[in-house]
Copies of this chain bind each other. A is one copy, B any other.
Amino acid sequence: MADTPQRVPRDVRMQGFAERASLNEAIAWVDRYSRIQDAESVALGGAVGRILAEPLLSPADVPPADTASHDGYALRSCETVGAGSYNPLPFCLQDYQPPLSPFSAALVTNGTTLPMGADAVAPFDLAQAGPEGANLIGSVARGEGVSVKGQEVQMGTTLIETSRQLRASDIGLISSFGIKRVSVIRRPLVRLLLVGRKSSKVGKLADANGPMLRALVVRDGGTVEICRYGIKERGAIEEWIARPGADLVLVCGRTGVGPDDEAPLALAAGGTLSLHGIAVRPGGTTGMGCVGEIPVILLPGSPLDCLHAYDLFAGRLIRNLSGRAPSLPYRVRQGKLKRKIVSSVGTVELCRVLLIAGDVIPLGNDDSGGLASVVRADGFIMIPATLEGYAPGATMDVYTYDEPHGVEGN
């Protein structure tokens, strides 16, 4: 598919989908439009979870000189030979600054550079206070209690690769070099187009998708710009997808086969509609295309479909743009199916499940159950398009929902 020109999807309104792209075709499209963002400089304190634009090389040796690795007396190890409880050896205490005099010791704390002449640090429990200083009641070997210059990190070695989100400990290590700012992959700006409430119709619930998608985009490394348009504003979708500034546009709703499902047409008119209709359930009315260089993903308006389509396609695109791993950000656990699941051949079905003590209990793989079925679930399984389902006892991967979510910052 990569090299052949796209078939132009036809208008499905009041007709239904004659054909749908496969999940793999849709994912290939997402990855093709995933150009990683450029770099920006951010304050180190705000860089947790971000991805470095370049590998970070150590600007110095750690430790920068031979230092004490614990508190105690810095001294010459050779002068402690023979010391013991029955043969305490007296050491004069001297200032830290000048070179060590013979049979003298200087108080040092963990992390301080050894005074010149010292080659070991005796811990306090190896000494007793004496009249002039300390009496050693045990010997120490050369290098004991000492971190040698460059022992932890040598200058110029790679400290942190660009393949992971910065951890708290990374921030600590970077900070220890006196570095205040780092260059990281810029967060993609995601424009989220939401239709205003269909207030004229009875029984519609308030907007679930806006707050949900905002949280998901932030989780995956993006920032969000929400644009709402009235249901009757003709041309609003076309206008918003064409307006510059966003790195990715998500249109939520109006992707189905109803008479007012104009999102695919608006994208085709303002840019290119590459795919509409994907053989996945929920989420089958998803569409994809471009306006100029900017990818546009059309997400179904039903919250359950919207969530799954976001995770499979939009979230992947955002993770790619952010420099993160493209895979689903859910922990995979293995489980054993408790009862039979039936699935349609030709369609990948996502089935919400409970995972209780290793047992996978399906909550429904059709579109029923709504967003509440996700909220009740521990996770979901993906049933390949080639299968008619699973028999009880089958072992499978469950994508579990218990990941911590990022909180919006900045």
Contacts and interface: CB of A to CB of B under 8 A. Distances in A.
Interface of A: 13-16, 44-46, 48-49, 62-65, 67, 69-71, 96, 107, 109-113, 123-125, 129, 147, 151-153, 159-160, 164-173, 175-178, 198, 201-216, 218-219, 256-261, 301-303, 307, 329, 331, 367-375, 401-410
18 contacts: A13-B124, A14-B129, A16-B123, A49-B405, A62-B372, A69-B368, A71-B256, A107-B259, A113-B201, A168-B212, A169-B375, A172-B208, A173-B208, A405-B406, A406-B406, A407-B409, A407-B410, A408-B409
A276 to B, nearest CB: 14
Contact of A112 (B204, B210, B261): B204
A331 to B, nearest CB: 6
Contact of A172 (B211, B260, B402): B211
Interface-central residue, A13, A159, A166, A211, by most chain B CB under 10 Å: A211
A125 B15 CA distance: 5
Contacts of A159: 372, 375
A61 B123 CA distance: 69
Contact of A152 (B67, B110, B368, B401): B368
Closest 8 pairs between A and B when the two form their complex, measured CB to CB: A172-B212, A16-B125, A113-B203, A71-B258, A168-B215, A407-B409, A176-B208, A172-B208
Given A204-B112, A212-B168, A406 B403 contact: no
